[in-house]
Structure 1
């Protein structure tokens, strides 16, 4: 049976002395300390993913890269053309903040030809881009793009696109000369078709691809152009406008593949609006 010490607790089997209690506390404290040391460190908090650039920022960045070496007659390499065209193919009207309900797509005066509006987003010595807004039945007359490469993307609506390149061989056309007596120059039709927003980006080059073209809006429509280098009056690269006349070959037959184009005075007026910059230069 347990033996009691005077004035103390029972001592014997199952009893615990004060030193043994202290030893157990030391062991418990040591165990807790070791457990704390062995606990794995908390996983690092991952950094937030970088924000994706806006469609307009991607368009600007890619255009700047593609036209970094731009000069009159410059043609970007095929991979650069494909890269910028892909950006434009994915672009939607909401990405640039326009829709057909805007005033610039309305005909304000039924007695006058519908006015075309150009929304200007950016230009520098290398390239420029903006959006042509055409009310139904409006026309951008036949004009050229001297020494320029131009990317055109329909954002909405439909239009008839007619484009030419200058003829290079009189034998192909069956004529004795590439210019006629009144100063008109022979051109070969590149495109004569209706295009809408389902069409992929159209690319025209300084010497081919439809460098001379005109637009006729079949419905309210918007087309975004990226041009490099831009028009420059100071450098002798103004926009020229042309009239069209049918072409007949030496055998007297009309050949619809060709037309005589003659430069005419510029009487086309277009309203220009500078848009707020929505990208980082």
Structure 2
């Protein structure tokens, strides 16, 4: 027989915080805090490294809001690194290593990359990395032969480019003037050095408090354990440009976790490192 508790239960609607005199205007309040010594947050929120909570979609949403997401580790090393890469490529001030294809690759491959990374175009470069064209959704809209080389379907005449050093304000003016969505950045030799997109410029205005790195990319953390694959997993995450490695353990105050932290610090001295949970004080 179930027992009904005699006490009253309260919901959010039953509780009111009584306001009092304040000398602070809401617009002057800062909720900024630190996640690590080197990474600040605009809002004090972090999404958990749980497989029911944080993958790339949640991590992107958290970073856009000013927080950070910790990608869970219950997946293969390759997939977790891919999730990091997806967050880092989701938006950027300038994409430093844009996805490219050679002119002999099939159109089908270009279409697959656009679908996978949710992008609308791919720069085409020669063997020396020089920009020779760009293939976009517009080029593929009525294309029937997906097995032909991209050189037959790409836009290659009157390409609009910008020199290295172009800032986002100048890039926005160039994009608007030519009514284009992607602006390749090339050096004096025509080698592709980056890509600025109208989508990233709009997102900069839409999410002014986004948590971004020095290159304008969203920040993301990823979890590792203290198991045998930790060295390989951490290297793959660092290679994918993860911002923070989180040694995730139910009991962080243990020799296994401490050894893992020491190993990661020696192997990747530049990466930000977090470890936990720790619920005991070492006196």
Tell me the TM-score normalized by structure 1: 0.24
* RCO comparison, higher one (Cα < 8 Å, 6+): 1
More strand by share: 1
Greater C-alpha Rg: 1
Tell me the TM-score normalized by structure 2: 0.24
